[in-house]
């Protein structure tokens, strides 16, 4: 999604899409006509379950390493497949979207500049931004860009089938380029270069990898996102940053997150922008394999839009954060902006040799108590310098 000033209509569009996703996994299969072709994610527990799925399929679109696949099949065939004891789940392949933002300052507040001054730049660590892509020629990001991979086509998406409505239809110099601006904004927060122009990130020398799982409208299917998570793990990258989510869980995405963590990836996700609320953390942030991040404002209060709940592990700045967008810079707000603050700090720890489980513990154990409730900020506010063992005395 884009900033609040010009994206009212876009936000409404995405909420319609997200709402449809929330019910599709449950009611979509049940209400379909027997002859309707549906795209679903199928998880199986045995080779017999896999064979049953493949036999029911009219087309297998994607196969995962964690005993699941994405396929199309008639609704009637899927009813039988759901009853098969060798099949763990059959879910319609819904979508998640980039979480809302309005307008970024947080590098100083999390004491990242203390880390920079001490030589902690994050050099050698790999941070995957699972989002709408990264602008391939942004001057603040080019020096830190590594490999990229697209799981959705650049230049397509939305109700019109193209990106013309969203304004970035000509942004596709690379398949993984950003045709929305959300991914580029998150990438800059995590690791914009210290190059005397624009902005700097929490890290300034992590290698950023664009894993494009959201289209120009900011929407991506469960399967596309799961494939991006799986790909991140298979590359051996250190951090996966997910400023995306939805209100409905997806078993295929949950499986992918478990697969990634089992293969050494530290996963972090935006908690969601459903606030004010008391128990509304979205997915994938709500999975126990993922660190859920809430958002704070410049007064150390909880951002009014930030989701809350027992899954929150840490808070980070998310209101009015200035960062990179294709063609320049912009201020945006959302837990989407809080998430890459944590990803950048995680990248610095990974560069110093910490494992994914050690990173998670270290970030929580060194967080600053800012007086918020546990379901609002978890362990407290991210402190990048303290996590790296540096003197962190900035309390404003």
The H or E element containing residue 23 is helix 8-23
Residues 6+ apart with CB under 8 A from 124: 207, 351
Residues 6+ apart with CB under 8 A from 114: 384, 385, 390, 391, 392, 394
- Return the percentage of the chain with pLDDT > 70, whole number: 85
Tell me the C-alpha distance between 228 and 151, whole Å: 7
Read off the pLDDT of residues 301-320 as tens digits, 9 standing for 90 and up.
Answer: 999 999 999 999 999 999 99
Exactly one of 7, 102, 179, 182 is catalytic; name it. Answer: 182
Tell me the C-alpha distance between 364 and 313, whole Å: 7
Q: How confident is the model at residue 9 (pLDDT cuts 50, 70, 90)?
A: very low
Tell me the C-alpha distance between 336 and 98, whole Å: 8
Exactly one of 102, 219, 336, 392 is catalytic; name it. Answer: 336
Read off the pLDDT of residues 187-222 as tens digits, 9 standing for 90 and up.
Answer: 999 999 998 889 999 999 999 999 999 999 999 999
Assess if CATH 3.30.70.80 describes domain 8-94: yes
181 is catalytic: no
DSSP structural state of residue 95: E
Measured at the CA of 107, the angle between CA 8 and CA 236, to 5 degrees, comes to 90
Instruction: State the number of CA atoms in the 13 A half-sphere of 184 facing the CB.
Output: 28
CB 379 within 8 A of CB 292: no
Q: How confident is the model at residue 36 (pLDDT cuts 50, 70, 90)?
A: confident
Exactly one of 111, 126, 131, 194 is catalytic; name it. Answer: 131
336 is catalytic: yes
182 is catalytic: yes
Domain ranges of the chain: 8-94, 106-387
- Confidence at residue 163, expressed as pLDDT on a 0 to 100 scale: 67
What's the predicted TM-score (pTM) here? 0.85
Domain range 106-387, its CATH number among 3.40.50.200, 3.30.70.20, 3.40.462.20, 3.10.450.50: 3.40.50.200
**Four-residue CA torsion sign, 208, 212, 214, 220:** negative
pLDDT of 396 > 60? The answer is no
């Amino acid at each position: 999604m884009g900033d609040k000033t010009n994206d009212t209509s876009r936000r409404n569009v995405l909420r319609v899409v997200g709402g449809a996703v929330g019910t599709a996994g449950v009611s979509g299969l049940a209400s379909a006509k027997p002859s309707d072709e549906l795209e679903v994610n199928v998880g199986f527990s045995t080779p017999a379950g896999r064979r049953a799925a493949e036999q029911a399929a009219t087309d297998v679109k994607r196969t995962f390493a964690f005993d699941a696949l994405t396929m199309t099949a008639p609704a009637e065939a899927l009813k039988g497949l759901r009853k098969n004891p060798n099949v763990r789940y059959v879910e319609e392949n819904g979508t998640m979207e980039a979480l809302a933002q309005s307008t970024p300052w947080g590098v100083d507040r999390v004491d990242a500049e203390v880390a920079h001054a001490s030589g902690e730049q994050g050099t050698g660590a790999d941070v995957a931004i699972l989002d709408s892509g990264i602008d391939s020629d942004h001057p603040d990001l080019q020096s830190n860009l590594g490999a990229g991979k697209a799981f959705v086509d650049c230049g397509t998406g939305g109700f019109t089938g193209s990106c013309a409505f969203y304004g970035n239809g000509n942004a596709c110099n690379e398949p993984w380029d950003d045709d929305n601006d959300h991914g580029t904004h998150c990438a800059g927060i995590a690791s914009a270069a210290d190059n005397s122009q624009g902005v700097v990130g929490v890290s300034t020398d992590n290698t950023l990898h664009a894993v494009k799982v959201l289209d120009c409208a900011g929407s991506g299917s469960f399967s596309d996102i799961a494939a991006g998570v799986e790909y991140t793990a298979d590359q051996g990258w250190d951090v996966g940053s997910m400023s995306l989510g939805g209100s409905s869980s997806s078993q295929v995405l949950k499986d992918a997150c478990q697969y990634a963590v089992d293969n050494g990836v530290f996963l972090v996700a935006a908690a969601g922008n459903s606030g004010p609320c008391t128990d509304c953390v979205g997915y994938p942030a709500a999975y126990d394999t993922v660190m859920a991040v809430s958002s704070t404002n410049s007064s150390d209060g909880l951002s009014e839009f930030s989701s809350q709940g027992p899954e929150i592990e840490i808070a980070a700045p998310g209101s009015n954060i200035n960062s990179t967008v294709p063609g320049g810079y912009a201020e945006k707000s959302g837990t989407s902006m809080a998430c890459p603050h944590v990803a950048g700090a995680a990248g610095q720890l990974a560069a110093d040799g910490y494992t994914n489980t050690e990173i998670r513990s270290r970030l929580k154990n060194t967080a600053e108590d800012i007086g918020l409730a546990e379901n609002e900020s978890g362990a407290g506010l991210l402190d990048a310098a303290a996590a790296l063992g540096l003197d962190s005395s900035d309390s404003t």
